[in-house]
Structure formats: C-alpha cells, structure tokens
Amino acid sequence: MNAAIRAVVRTAIFYDIEVAGIRRGFEGMINGDIIPMGTKSVSNIIQRGGTILKTGRSEQFRTPEGRKLAYEQLKKNDIDGLVALGGNGTFKGANEFITEYPDIAVIGVPCTIDNDLFGADFTIGYDTAINTVIEAVDKIRETAESHDRLFIVEVMGRDSGMIALRTGMGVGAEAIMVPETKSDINALFDRLERGRKDKTSKIVMVAEGDEPGGAFEIGRAIMERYPHYDTRVSILGHIQRGGKPTCMDRVLASRLGVAAVEAIKDGHTGEMAGLIHNDIVFTPFGQSVKHHSEVNAEFIRIVEMLSL
C-alpha cells in the first residue's frame, strides 16, 4: 500500500491539490485522525511493506451513526474526495458512504493479497504474497526431498483460491485444493496413487477456506489412508502478508494511485481503479464487490498434467 500512498500524495501535489492522510482507515476517519501530507511525508516508503497510515476494521463505520461522524470529520477538514485503499470490505463501506453522502467523491484502489476483486487482473499485494509463498515452499520441497515426505501446505485464502492456484503451479504441486471448486478427498487419494511411485517428495497446496477443513483435516485423512507416507502439515500464515513488495506490485500501485487522483479530479466517484489487460479500467463498487474473480480452470488442468 505504501507505493500507492506515495503515488496518491505526489500526484495530488502535482495537480496543486491539498492532500491529507487518514490513519487506521474508516475508524481514523470517524475519530478525526487526519494528518496533512506532503512530498517528504512519502519519501523512502516505496520499498516498505504494509502501510505507513496503518489500517484496521471499524465496527462503527458499519452503522449510519458512524458514517455520519466520519462525514462530519471530512467536512471539518475541508476534504471532498477520498482514495480508499483496500479490498471487498473497504469498498462495501465506501459504497454505503457515498450513497448517503454523495458530495464526497470516492475512488477505490484494490489492495488485497487474495486477488479476488472483479475489475482487476491483479490486486496490489498479490504478486508479493505469491512470491513469498514460492520462496517458502521451495525450501519446504528441499526438506521433503531429503526425507521422502509429503507436505500439505496451507496458504491464505478463506474465500479465494487465487494464491493456492498460482503458487501450486509455480512450485510443481501434485494437487491444489481451493474453495471455488468442490474438493473430493477421494480424488486427491487417486492423484496420489496415480503419481510416480519413485517421487521422493510430494506437495499438496491447500487454500485455508477449502471445504474439507484446511491442511490439518486433509493431512489427517491422508495419514489415515496412507500411514506409510511421512506426511507433514505446514501453515504459512501471516508470513504471506509481509516483506518488501515486488517490482510488479510497486509499479501497479504507482499506476493505480495516479489513476485514482486523476479520476477524482475528472469528476469520477464510486468506482474502483483496476488494471485489465494492462489498461486502467474503472469498475463501479457495486460490481467489484459482488462479482468475485473466478479461478482459472486451465491452471488446474495444467497442474494435473505436469504433476505426473
């Protein structure tokens, strides 16, 4: 998010627009935690993970009373436009806000490692997250090779299998299990049985939201069925959310930050700026949050062929 914040601040200054930062998202908006920002405010942050403005959930903002308090704080600080960095929850909140207070222009910038927003080929943070997973699982594979083990690796994705899908292909996984498709544990058993008997390691990638119950439940089922396998479970967890952003994420964030400010300047509101086929495209909040991106079935087909 820092690269996007930097782009928003410096683009606004380029167009002689005063710009402020709101700490801790909607909660900070309600509490008036608003600070002026200038060019130096965003120096030396493009390479840092996370966000210098902090983030957090706001139960207050879910209520009309909370949104009214937020609106009053914006008016008090002479703010008439917002760039909202976030994902599904952020854009739902922003959509409700502009319905009640249409005089505040809001443009969204998609920031979620799940890469599950309609209207964007890639969301900010996704490329960094999948490269972190690749690095971790490559190391796990070395352990698996050395000890002839089968590893069940769980990655983030409560409602989306985008991380598991792409990284599963990238690490040469034997199978991928994601919440968007029905996972059949017996089909997984068949794949493990049909695989080469002389393979010294096996990797099964699982999204945390997969319906059999995640990596531990899948691991338990495999150990019951194949007690002779040396089966281990590895949960990567929040390691996927940290680290220095990749070049792709920094460039994507920079482009979308610029586009968001220019959209507000040109009178747009209630839309998310996203990159589709390398072009900036604006999608209404109502569509971006209702229509999640679908997993690419071709990826699963390719994994099945290449894991033999």
Q: Among this protein's residues, is 80 annotated catalytic?
A: no
What is the torsion angle, in degrees rounded to the nearest 10, for the CA atoms of residue 248, residue 252, residue 254 and residue 257?
A: -160
Question: Of residues 114, 116, 210, 249, which has the active-site annotation?
Answer: 114
Which residues are marked as active site?
Answer: 114
